[in-house]
Structure 1
């Protein structure tokens, strides 16, 4: 193998740039030519592909977002779109591709591998919803962004004696909400996997009020529903002054944490090692602090699960 490509796809995540850097420099270390694909699978179909050198990834390890940009593509989901992508890669002479992204991006990598073009998936998403890895690139940074924001909100909640409902990202996974809720000492955590009943939340708020508690924090994962609607229900049911904050895309931005930089570097380098063996259709991940790889098709068949012991602990500590 002499030439490989790398792209970022789906929602951006802090640490993607660190992963791109690792892929490029690891490939050049092994005397490979490495090409960056711009704008995800859309750019792959359009041939928006440029050779990268050591300097191409200088001074990016600390930057959020992705220098390769990202885009979603409906056309790439079709057989015709995938064939266009393969033709573009053959035109340049690429022999393998590393895809940094979430489960949708991995499905694209799976399709290209099935067409005889080996791809390796690197999990990059703040949602932490990819089976086969304990953590995804970007999760730790997004979590710390939420924790910092909730700390600030708690200050004003205390000052004004209010209840706050805070909506966090995560798509259909509750990892961000669960970890942030436990780290911030939230009174209630609402996640898609195990949603606490509204009656239970209200009862907990009233118990706190009865013992003189002046404020409360409820963390709600976006997969559960609208924090605005939930906040209105809380205020109507409890007569407590309630405010809502939707943190939104602030969770995706910012300089990646040290953990995400190291994780991205380890996973990106491992992806190159796997391509060098001639293998494709694999996904790299981290489990028990060891870098591992799995069959990407098998991973996509699995369902993401959450740490229910953490959820139980949060309920025990928020009595």
Structure 2
């Protein structure tokens, strides 16, 4: 059977009257995500004092956030503003691949950042010996390989399904479950693979992160109150980022799998959309507020750019 030349993305079913406000909201958040993450990457790359493992992982996280948001938000805004809802067959699955791969890479980076905090607080004397540049590069490569190996079979299974019926996707981007339901064959194997794979990846990562922070809490219990506060404050921004990523993400997955008959469709779509745009938007704000070094460098860079632009105009 020939696959359709293109899919039609509905947007958010039932909220067509609010498309203009949704487009403004998404555009504002996407702009903040691009500027904030780009600023963090620029600050870390330009400042030699920020070449520590934690900031290097944060720089990669900012790049992944840009990829994740850019994979879906521009197309969403076009749907909400102009009604341009068509997306080609190959572009649809390319978008799906980047979305799933970016989320798999991001959860791996959160594990790496939790391991960094564990070594920094529990084994400070061995920090530079354990987290060498070679070790950091190996961790990043392993995270990317894991994402590729886990997502490639899913996309392969989906692209080999016969799509002989409707090509209308009741979603604002090519979400896996929404596209799989359009197949003329049973999509259960790919859907089950997606659920099991995401549960294993997120479950093992959350278990590792939880263990790291339990060990950190045990290590700081014997310290003075000031030392406890200093140690825990360095972890608070990461905990906030993890909560923003895991809670809506897993809620979206399990609602789409288990609650599709009870949760209204527009709530499911909104939850999936916000999961992809809220973390990239708020991550740089959280790190900019909670990390003093980054906050200081960001202000310096912005002031330098402002005065340099003013001097050129004058």
**Larger helix proportion of the pair:** 2
TM-score for the superposition, normalised by structure 2: 0.25
The structure with higher relative contact order (CA 8 Å, sep 6+) is 2
Structure with the higher strand share, 1 or 2: 1
